[in-house]
Structure 1
Amino acid sequence: MASVWIKRHFKALQRLTMLACALPALGLLLDLHRGHLGATPLNTLLQVSGRSSLVILIATLSITPLRRLLALLATAARWKHGKRMADWNWLVKLRRPLGLWSFAYATLHLWLYLAFDLAYDWATAWEELRTKAYLLAGFVAWALLVPLALTSTQRMMRALGRHWMRLHAAVYLIALLSLLHFWLLTKHGASPPWPDTLALAALLLYRALLKTGLLPRWQGDDGTESPERARA
């Protein structure tokens, strides 16, 4: 029954996920309209856009381990279709839009900084990038996100073949650089990103256990749909 319910309501679940991703931006627009962005509106805009990008990126990385957890729970609960139903392929379909939302917030974050903090002063931007480590980490993370966003379509996945997985493995480096960007900013008054750090550490541990063979692989560990769903 659970698989039938998910199939019937996938579009609704997808819309709810997209709405959740849009909430930070909608909140900023509402606060901007009401004049409730605080004493330093630009700092608020930068913090919310940057943090939203990181949180959504970590959510994107969580999809494969989440599928495995749901598979274990479904098998333990003896749901009708067992582990096959619990491949939870609908989660894979959320990965691309989540990644694009993360890229959108990262791009907004960069644009706000360039437009309102530097006023498009490219000489100052280069000097800041050269002398401030947190800016370098953030910019490199954004630059690495660009090819991932451009190659996120099914057509590009088929065109790149196995090279697509190698390219998109850079998402872990991007997450680490984004986290480093936030940690280096803590001295400027930003809250330490401990929840994001612990979540990413757990994801990296999961990946390390898979790589070393200490955690056995299952059908969904490559992040793709199950062969049963693909044939269907």
Structure 2
Amino acid sequence: MQIKRLAWLLNVLMTIFVAWQLALGLQAPDVVTELRDISGRIGSYLLLITLLYTPLGYYFPATRVYVPLRRYVGLWAFAMVMAHLLVWISLEFNFDWLLMWQEMQGNLFIWLGVLAVVLLLPMALTSNRNATRKLGYRRWQALHCVTYVAIPMALGHYLMAQKVATAEPVILLVMLIALMIWRFRYAR
């Protein structure tokens, strides 16, 4: 029961945080760019946080009770990724598919972002007990291993999208590399 309360609290806090960030974004001189960047940044942070649960549980066994919250964090990450995509499609390009296609030509970072969304979609759709039961635990777990491909793509998108070199995406990428090394070296 305590986990359900924590999940509820996490959802409320995330809603407040996202609303606050969006309110700040609406005050920026370039609202569309700010909304796009905020949603993408939050999505990147949350995707990385989902990978932290396993090492934390490994080194601090008392934290294993919080592993069920990873699903909520992952779904929030997906919601922010979809908000990022929706801002890009609707506000930046006004649903002009031809213009979007032209923008995608020669821009590897856009392709990385699109592929990350495509890979994250089945994971978001199957992040419930019903899907786990229907797929069977082994197939469900194999599907969710795609995380280890989608998250590097998403962070690669974030790093390559920077027009000015900043430390933030590099730090996230270093954290990702450390988590991936840990995952493939120490995790069972």
TM-score norm. by structure 2 comes to 0.89
Q: CA deviation at 1:20?
A: 3.8
Deviations 1:119-159 (A, max 9, x none): 10011112222321111111110111111111111111122
Task: Return 5+ residue gaps in structure 1 as ranges.
Answer: 1-6, 72-85, 212-216, 218-232
Where does 1:6-155 land on structure 2 (aligned, <5 Å)?
A: 9-31=2-24, 36=27, 38-71=28-61, 86=62, 88-89=64-65, 91-155=66-130
Select 1:181's aligned residue among 146, 151, 157.
157
Which stretch shows the higher mean deviation, 138-147 or 188-197? 188-197
Consecutive aligned runs of 4 or more in structure 1 exceeding 3 Å deviation:
9-12, 188-192
Cα distance between partner residues in 2 of 1:123 and 1:53: 26
The number of aligned residues is 187
Q: CA deviation at 1:192?
A: 4.1
TM-aligned CA distance change 1:191 to 1:209, over 3 Å: closer
Contact 2:113/2:157 (<8 A) preserved = yes
Aligned to 1:170: 146
Cα distance between partner residues in 1 of 2:7 and 2:185: 30
Deviations 1:77-100 (A, max 9, x none): xxxxxxxxx3723x2211111111
Contact 1:24/1:52 (<8 A) preserved = no
TM-aligned CA distance change 1:23 to 1:199, over 3 Å: farther
Aligned to 1:221: none
Cα distance between partner residues in 2 of 1:187 and 1:67: 37
Q: CA deviation at 1:195?
A: 2.8
Is the partner of 2:29 in helix, strand or coil? coil
Q: CA deviation at 1:54?
A: 1.0
Q: CA deviation at 1:190?
A: 6.3
Q: Which amino acid aligns with 1:146?
A: L
TM-aligned CA distance change 1:201 to 1:48, over 3 Å: same
Q: Which has the larger radius of gyration?
A: 1
Identity of aligned residues (%): 30
TM-score norm. by structure 1 comes to 0.73
Q: CA deviation at 1:189?
A: 6.7
Contact 1:106/1:142 (<8 A) preserved = yes
Select 1:156's aligned residue among 131, 134, 145.
131
